Homo-oligomer: A and B are copies of this chain.
Amino acid sequence: MSLIVQKYGGTSVADLERIRNVAKRIAKTYEQGHQVVVILSAMAGITDHLIDMARDVTESPDKRELDVLLATGEQTTSALLAMTLKSMKYPAQSLLGHQAEVLTDHSYGNARIIDIRAEKIKELLSDRQIVVVAGFQGCDPDGNITTLGRGGSDTSAVAIAAAVNADVCEIYTDVDGIYTADPNICDKARKLSVISYDEMLNMASLGAKVLQIRSVGFAKKYNIPVHVRSSFTEEEGTMVVNENSGMERLIVSSVTHDKNQARITLKKVPDQPGVAAKIFTPIAEEGIVVDMIIQNTRAGGKTDLTFTVPRVNYKSALKMQKKIAEEIGAEDVFGDENIAKVSVVGVGMRDHSGVASTMFTALAKENINIMMISTSEIRISCVIEEKYTELAVRVLHTAFGLDKE
């Protein structure tokens, strides 16, 4: 007998018919003798609908009240699923965020989980109940309702799995696992049976499409095996686990890409202490996330500085930097929206040299120019011209031996 946490995303509970199917899947797991905790998202589209409603009230709705409004989405699906299970004669009970004791900080709209006491969940489990928890929501120490941000139900699921010491956290979604590359642009991409937490964390956009990145950090911290799989098939998906758990070691396990990027360059910035702070503080204050930063040393006490920002923030960041450039005496500011980032990710890199050179050689062979490079312990990313994105993903996929037979 295992303790299994199952999380179902919005498409899996999009209507009553699908909720019935989810109930059948849960019932099957329960019948096998397992203890089951279910975490639910809102019906697909509902959260957006509620946000639209709030925006009809006012352009910038109060964040506390928006969370109260949004929390109704998961409350609805949780009640409906518990009802469905009970009508099938299974013992089930729904719990809202505060009832499941999902304690968060005060950051409405993007709250962080501080603690999950889960006493009520454990009590219900020991009573052989199926526990249905509304995902995405928690409450702060003052009892205010908070929500965990986009994809927050994944984090709810993993955090609750950690709190109840679950054997596995199954994330049911509309894709059937994690792929070596986006199958839409690389038809030789194949599903990975297993991947490490660190690789998932480094896959950024490719991984984020199936799993909220924050939830992976949680899973890693508490060593919760996460099984990403489809709620529409019986097929196994991808296990996200600790890299020491005997997994097959590919040098590179995936090739990811991100077109949601733009870069800004400041030319001939005076190379003085405090200049970098002047450049990046206003951007941080606007909540704009800077991804890569590259600084070239130049002669004459001047330096060129290039960084990337999400494309949606490009225009405002560029405007900001033009003002800053004047203040600090930089010669010029220019930018480029037509860029993309391609990355190779793999824990095997730690033990293998030559990954960078393989990557650069493969891109060079296709005459793809590399504009920026950044590396982490298990990832190498290159910024290239956007038009080469698909080609770059395919040649790297082949170069690292990831193509399916």
- Closest CB-CB distance, A255 to chain B, in whole Å? 43
Task: Say whether A208 faces chain B, with CB atoms less than 8 Å apart.
Answer: no
Q: Which of chain B's residues have a CB closer than 8 A to the CB of A80?
A: 53-54, 57, 65, 69
- Closest CB-CB distance, A147 to chain B, in whole Å? 12
Partner of A72, one of B75, B84, B98: B75
- Closest CB-CB distance, A340 to chain B, in whole Å? 39
Partner-binding segment picked from A86-94, A185-193, A241-249: A86-94
Within 8 A of B (CB), among A284-324: none
Within 8 A of B (CB), among A206-251: none
Quick check: A83 and B58 within 8 Å, CB to CB?
yes
Q: Roughly how many angstroms separate A83 CA and B82 CA in the complex, as a whole number? A: 30
Task: Say whether A391 faces chain B, with CB atoms less than 8 Å apart.
Answer: no
Q: Roughly how many angstroms separate A23 CA and B86 CA in the complex, as a whole number? A: 40
Partner of A94, one of B56, B61, B68, B98: B68
Quick check: B93 and A64 within 8 Å, CB to CB?
yes
Q: Which of chain B's residues have a CB closer than 8 A to the CB of A53?
A: 16, 80
Q: Roughly how many angstroms separate A251 CA and B380 CA in the complex, as a whole number? A: 91
A75, A78, A83, A84 interface centre (most CB from chain B within 10 Å): A83
Quick check: A68 and B75 within 8 Å, CB to CB?
yes
Q: Which of chain B's residues have a CB closer than 8 A to the CB of A75?
A: 68-69, 71-72, 75
Task: Say whether A13 faces chain B, with CB atoms less than 8 Å apart.
Answer: no
A87-B58 contact, Cβ under 8 Å, with A75-B75, A80-B53, A99-B143:
yes
Q: Nearest residue in B to A132 (C-beta to C-beta)?
A: B65
Q: Which of chain B's residues have a CB closer than 8 A to the CB of A99?
A: 143-144
Task: Say whether A79 faces chain B, with CB atoms less than 8 Å apart.
Answer: yes
Q: Roughly how many angstroms separate A66 CA and B82 CA in the complex, as a whole number? A: 10
Partner of A57, one of B16, B56, B144: B16
Q: Roughly how many angstroms separate A382 CA and B392 CA in the complex, as a whole number? A: 89
Q: Which of chain B's residues have a CB closer than 8 A to the CB of A143?
A: 99, 120
Task: Say whether A338 faces chain B, with CB atoms less than 8 Å apart.
Answer: no
Task: Say whether A76 faces chain B, with CB atoms less than 8 Å apart.
Answer: yes
- Closest CB-CB distance, A331 to chain B, in whole Å? 45
- Closest CB-CB distance, A90 to chain B, in whole Å? 11
Task: Say whether A405 faces chain B, with CB atoms less than 8 Å apart.
Answer: no
Q: Roughly how many angstroms separate A96 CA and B145 CA in the complex, as a whole number? A: 10
Task: Say whether A48 faces chain B, with CB atoms less than 8 Å apart.
Answer: no
Q: Nearest residue in B to A69 (C-beta to C-beta)?
A: B79
Chain A 83-125 near chain B by CB (<8 Å), digits 1 or 0: 1101100000110101100000000000000000000100000
Q: Which 6 A-B pairs have the closest CB atoms?
A: A58-B87, A69-B79, A68-B79, A72-B72, A65-B83, A62-B86
A-B contacts besides A65-B93, A72-B72, 10 pairs, CB < 8 Å:
A16-B53, A54-B83, A58-B86, A62-B82, A64-B82, A68-B75, A68-B78, A71-B75, A99-B143, A99-B144
List the interface of chain A (C-beta within 8 A of B): 16, 19-20, 53-54, 56-58, 60-62, 64-66, 68-69, 71-72, 75-76, 78-80, 82-84, 86-87, 93-94, 96, 98-99, 120, 143-145
